[in-house]
């Protein structure tokens, strides 16, 4: 998708929103503002270090380096040893826009706890923690994104 068209679409969405009435709305607004910053500052091609925090497979918990071109993951490499993870097993690894979507879905879905910190320069979510039900110990998920670099298209 053409970046200016996408930004226009997202800006129209901002204008249609209601007033901020609670912490979920404030976080949703913060997520949208940072998504817009990310799209304008970075675009759709970038690389970054990524880590999951969840009750998931050992492979999914490994710190990896990810490359995204035109919004699609192109490679996932284990940082510890440089091993490439085959594309058939990329389901546990997210693009930056996927992480934004997870935050938004958790806010809309009534998760008990959602916390996200954003990079002040590029807008991407650096650390995310979501607890869907505080009484359930294994439903927490987290995402960590660092060392993001723009890939010139």
pLDDT per residue over 102-127, tens digit each? Answer: 999 998 887 888 999 999 999 999 99
Torsion of CA 102, 89, 139, 72, to 10 degrees: -10
Find the CATH number of the domain harbouring 81: 2.50.20
From the list 52, 59, 56, 47, the residue with the least C-alpha distance to 84 is 59
Residues 6+ apart with CB under 8 A from 110: none
Residue 24 tokens read as 């979920």
pLDDT of residue 6: 35
Q: Considering only 67-71, 74-78, 88-92, 131-135, which range has the smallest mean pLDDT?
A: 131-135
Q: Can you tell me the distance from the alpha carbon of 66 to that of 49, in angstroms, rounded to the nearest whole number?
A: 6
Site of tokens 């505080």: 134
In contact, 6 and 39? CB cutoff 8 Å: yes
Residue range(s) defining the domain that contains residue 14: 3-150
Number of domains comprising the chain: 1
pLDDT of residue 138: 61
């Amino acid at each position: 998708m053409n970046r200016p068209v996408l930004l226009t679409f997202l800006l129209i969405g901002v204008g249609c929103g209601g007033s901020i009435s609670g912490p979920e709305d404030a976080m949703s607004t913060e997520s949208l503002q940072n998504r817009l910053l990310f799209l304008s500052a970075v675009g759709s091609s970038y690389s970054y270090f990524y880590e999951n925090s969840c009750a998931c497979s050992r492979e999914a918990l490994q710190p990896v380096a990810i490359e995204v071109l035109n919004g699609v993951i192109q490679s996932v490499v284990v940082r510890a040893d440089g091993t490439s993870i085959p594309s058939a097993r990329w389901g546990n690894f997210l693009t930056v826009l996927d992480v934004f979507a997870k935050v938004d879905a958790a806010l809309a879905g009534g998760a008990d706890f959602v916390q996200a910190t954003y990079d002040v320069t590029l807008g991407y979510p650096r650390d995310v923690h979501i607890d869907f039900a505080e009484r359930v110990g294994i439903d927490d998920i987290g995402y960590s994104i660092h060392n993001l670099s723009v890939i010139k298209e």
